[in-house]
Each structure stands twice: as structure tokens, then as C-alpha cells.
Amino acid sequence: MKIEMMSQQTSLLQQMQEMTRVTRELPEIAPQGGQEVSFGNAMRDVINRVNEQQNISSRLMTAVDAGQSDDLVGAMVASQKAGLSFSALMQVRNKLMTGFDDIMRMPL
């Protein structure tokens, strides 16, 4: 039991260190125009970028399907990029939810 608790604490410490590292990098990817950098704004920006990639991929695939374009390779690459971006976003969401659940289970 004690070893399990230490393992969980070590895991939480590693996650906190990783979040600290990522937080230090945020000013480099801060939105332009003097907007305040916050977690909510950063997540909104990422979600908008993923959505934009999904829309581009959809337009390219529709153009290929309709015969308006013969750039099948470009459409497939855009589709793969959009899928990878969405997958990464879901992994971040799952990690956030796991962290939130861990915090909620902490004894007071």
C-alpha cells in the first residue's frame, strides 16, 4: 500500500513537472494582438486550429471526390494531419480529465 502511494505521488510529481515545462513554453506560442495568455484561451486556440485542419481536409477530399481536383496526395496528407491533430487533442483532453479526477480523489 505504501509503495503504491509513493508510486502515485511520483507519477503526480512527474505530471506537474511536465505541466510546468509546457507552461514555460506558452509565451512562445501566445496569440498575437496583445491577448491575455490563459489556459482557456490556449485551449480555444488549439481547438480552432484542429477544426480548421478538419475543414481544409474535408474541402480537399470533397474536391477530389467531385473531380474538381486531381491532388489526391495533398488531400490524403491533409486528412492524415487532421486526424493526427484530433488524436493529439483527445489525448490532451484525456490527460486533463485524469488529472482532474486525481485531484478530486485527494483526501483533504
User: What mean pLDDT do residues 13-30 have?
Assistant: 66
Identify whether residues 48 and 96 lie together within a single domain.
Answer: yes
Domain count, the chain: 2
What count of other Cβ atoms lies within 10 Å of the Cβ of residue 82?
21
Do residues 35 and 48 make contact, with C-beta atoms less than 8 angstroms apart? no
Identify whether residues 22 and 43 lie together within a single domain.
Answer: no
Identify whether residues 100 and 50 lie together within a single domain.
Answer: yes
Identify whether residues 38 and 26 lie together within a single domain.
Answer: no
Percent of the chain exceeding pLDDT 70 equals 74
Answer yes or no: is pLDDT of 28 > 60. Answer: no
Identify whether residues 96 and 43 lie together within a single domain.
Answer: yes
Question: Containing domain of residue 19, as a range?
Answer: 1-30
| pLDDT tens string 46-60 | 999 999 999 999 999
Q: Which residues contact 71 (CB under 8 A, 6 or more apart)?
A: 60, 63, 64
Alpha-helix runs per DSSP H in the chain: 2-25, 39-65, 72-105
pLDDT of residue 62: 94
